[in-house]
């Protein structure tokens, strides 16, 4: 099938590349000439494991191409995906849909025959109806079906998530649209993939409900972690103890510094607004949004407490800046609030991240950057692990202890065992776990 993907950002590029890898012929379109020129030259605008290899292969095999010319790109397409950005609108947290509507109008103007237009961008319930109204207004002479098909890709694991999804949700209002969607996903559905066909509005809401539920789950375990700290219980054991109950499930129960990223913060906020607008407030999600915001700042206070209550004039090393590992994405990263809280308290902050430093630099003025983890901790009064990159999971703790000016390790991702760290003479603080002090002299 011939597919056009409007918007070559994270979702558009990954989805476009994966569809081409399944044998469809895909053109990824974007207004940004620089981005398209770079993609044509084989340069990826984002860091995503496996993406470049997949793009290169499918470009070579002539199934994937890039263009800034929307009309030509959709001329012989049977399906056009809209995967443009839906940022939070300034002031009220509503999703800004202007890019979606502009793309829909342009696609309708350029349509040369019957078309299925599929919204992949995360859009509030009812957006598909508005897209349909727009395309009907622009083109009465061509049949254009409007479908919702949300994505559930995780950054850093997006290709795996695309190729082996738990389910594909399709919100379609006509048989023709359902048939086109079935044909698009047929290569994936051969391994008995659950296709969930629902109404367009239901599909739009599924996406928000899924993200909000996951955000609730994370925030729940984060609050349980605080309670564990207050009572001497261990949050990892609590998570395992509840997660083995199949009704709860073990995933998304890792306590940490609060969720970030391009989706959870924006989507929970937009869902809260939708609930308020429809007189059906989502009070649990409202609370989750504010608990998570407060948590990021509280993590700064946790580091200060680990440093004896003051960081004025002290140097704090931060390992990991991106909102999670295997991405260079800094959007809503907990590190942003943490570094600011430390700087406000008078600390000198030095950071290192394996992939995110170019993105982090403009967002974290006043912070210095190190070339690697060991350079970052050299002479520092404490080190805090904020993102659980693999390369921080087996640091040489003996060396870290020697390089630090004072031996304090704050592990906001619980990647070490308390006894493993304290035996090197490091003072250790983590999330929701008791530290049993080991007699240092006996073990070092």
State the residues that interact with ligand UDX by CB under 6 A. 151-155, 211, 214, 218, 252-254, 256, 259-261, 263-264, 323-324
Which residue lies nearer to ligand UDX by CB, 222 or 438?
222
Shortest Cβ 363–ligand UDX spacing (Å): 16
Q: Tell me if residue 308 falls in helix, strand or coil.
A: coil
Name the minimum Å distance from CB 211 to ligand UDX: 6
Nearer residue to ligand UDX within complex by CB, 65 or 121: 121
**Minimum distance, C-beta of residue 203 to ligand UDX, in the bound complex (Å):** 14
Tell me the closest approach of the beta carbon of residue 323 to ligand UDX, in angstroms: 4
How many CB atoms neighbour CB 331 within 10 A? 18
The residue from 18, 28, 228, 263 that is catalytic is 263
Decide whether 336 or 404 has the Cβ nearer to ligand UDX. Answer: 336
Rounded Cα–Cα distance for residues 65 and 52 (Å)? 13
Q: In angstroms, what is the minimal distance from the CB of 82 to ligand UDX?
A: 16
- Evaluate whether 378 touches 312 at the Cβ level (below 8 Å): no
Task: Answer for the pair 117, 173: CB distance below 8 angstroms, yes or no.
Answer: no
Helix (H, G, I), strand (E, B) or coil at 38: helix
In angstroms, the Cα distances linking 255 to 227, 236, 307, 319 are 12, 8, 22, 18
How wide is the angle at C-alpha 59 spanned by C-alphas 55 and 65, nearest 5°?
95
From the list 133, 24, 121, the residue with the least C-alpha distance to 79 is: 24
Minimum Å gap between C-beta 154 and ligand UDX is 4
Measured distance CA(352)–CA(368) in Å, rounded = 9
The residue number whose beta carbon is nearest to ligand UDX equals 263
**Dihedral over Cα of 229, 233, 234, 239: its sign:** negative
CA 359 – CA 59 distance, rounded (Å): 27
Query: Is-catalytic flag, 28?
Result: no
- The residue (of 152 and 185) whose beta carbon lies closer to ligand UDX is 152
Q: Name the residue nearer to ligand UDX (CB basis): 153 or 360.
A: 153
β-strand pairing of 368-369 with 79-82: unpaired
> Which is closer to ligand UDX, CB of 154 or CB of 176?
154
Nearer to ligand UDX, 149 or 427 (CB): 149
> If you count them, how many residues does the chain have?
444
Residue 216 C-beta: closest distance to ligand UDX, Å:
12
Tokens of 140: 């009465």
Q: How far is the CB of 257 from ligand UDX (least distance, A)?
A: 7
Q: Which residues contact 64 (CB under 8 A, 6 or more apart)?
A: 16, 17, 20, 26, 27, 28, 55, 58
Q: Is 119 helix (H, G, I), strand (E, B) or coil?
A: strand
Q: From its phi and psi, is residue 221 left (phi > 0), alpha (psi between -120 and 50) or beta?
A: alpha
Phi and psi at 29, nearest 5°, equal -115, 145
Question: Which residues, in sequence order, are bridge partners of residue 67?
Answer: 29
CB of 265 to ligand UDX, least distance (A): 9
Q: Is the distance from CB of 82 to CB of 119 less than 8 angstroms? A: yes
Nearer to ligand UDX, 117 or 218 (CB): 218
CA distance readout (Å), 143 to 1, 128, 183, 368 = 18, 15, 18, 56
The three-state secondary structure class of 166 is: coil
Instruction: Look at residue 68 and give its three-state secondary structure.
Output: coil
> 444 and 424 in contact (C-beta within 8 Å)?
yes
Output 152 or 389, the one with its CB closest to ligand UDX: 152
Question: Where does residue 430 fall: left (phi above 0), alpha (psi -120 to 50 degrees), or beta otherwise?
Answer: beta
List residues with catalytic annotation. 263
């Amino acid at each position: 099938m011939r597919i056009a993907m409007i918007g070559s950002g994270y979702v558009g590029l990954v989805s476009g590349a994966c569809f081409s890898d399944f044998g469809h012929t895909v053109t990824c379109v974007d207004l940004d000439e620089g981005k398209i020129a770079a993609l044509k030259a084989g340069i990826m605008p984002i860091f995503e494991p496996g993406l470049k290899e997949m793009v290169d292969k499918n470009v070579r095999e002539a199934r994937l191409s890039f263009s800034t010319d929307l009309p030509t790109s959709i001329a012989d397409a049977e399906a056009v995906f809209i995967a443009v950005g839906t940022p939070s609108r300034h002031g009220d947290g509503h999703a800004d849909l202007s890019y979606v509507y502009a793309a829909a109008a342009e696609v309708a103007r350029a349509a040369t025959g019957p078309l299925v237009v599929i919204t992949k961008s995360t859009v509030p319930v009812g957006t598909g109806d508005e897209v349909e109204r727009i395309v009907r207004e622009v083109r009465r002479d061509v049949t254009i079906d409007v479908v919702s098909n949300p994505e559930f890709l995780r950054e850093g694991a997006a290709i795996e998530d695309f190729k082996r999804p738990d389910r594909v949700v399709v919100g379609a209002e006509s048989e023709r649209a359902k048939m086109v969607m079935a044909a698009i996903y047929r290569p994936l559905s051969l391994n008995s993939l659950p296709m969930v066909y629902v109404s367009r509005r239901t599909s739009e809401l599924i996406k928000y409900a899924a993200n909000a539920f996951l955000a609730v789950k994370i925030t729940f375990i984060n609050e349980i972690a605080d309670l564990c700290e207050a009572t001497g219980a261990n949050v990892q054991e609590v998570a395992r103890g509840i997660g083995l109950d199949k009704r709860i499930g073990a995933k998304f129960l890792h306590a940490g510094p609060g969720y970030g990223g391009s989706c959870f913060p924006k989507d929970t906020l937009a869902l809260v607004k939708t609930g308020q607008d429809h007189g059906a407030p989502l009070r649990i999600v409202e609370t989750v949004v504010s608990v998570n915001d407060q948590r990021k700042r509280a993590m700064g206070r946790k580091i200060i407490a680990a440093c004896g209550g003051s960081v004025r004039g002290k140097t704090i090393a931060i390992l990991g800046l991106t909102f999670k590992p295997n991405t260079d994405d800094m959007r809503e990263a907990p590190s942003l609030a943490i570094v600011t809280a430390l700087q406000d308290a008078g600390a000198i902050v030095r950071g290192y991240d394996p992939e995110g430093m170019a993105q982090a630099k403009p967002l974290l003025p006043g912070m210095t950057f190190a070339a690697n983890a060991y350079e970052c901790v050299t002479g520092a009064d404490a080190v805090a692990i904020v993102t659980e990159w693999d390369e921080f999971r087996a640091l040489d703790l003996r060396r870290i202890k020697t390089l630090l000016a004072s031996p304090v390790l704050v592990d906001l991702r619980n990647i070490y065992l308390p006894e493993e760290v304290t035996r090197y003479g490091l003072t250790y603080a983590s999330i929701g776990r008791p530290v049993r002090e080991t007699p240092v002299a006996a073990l070092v």
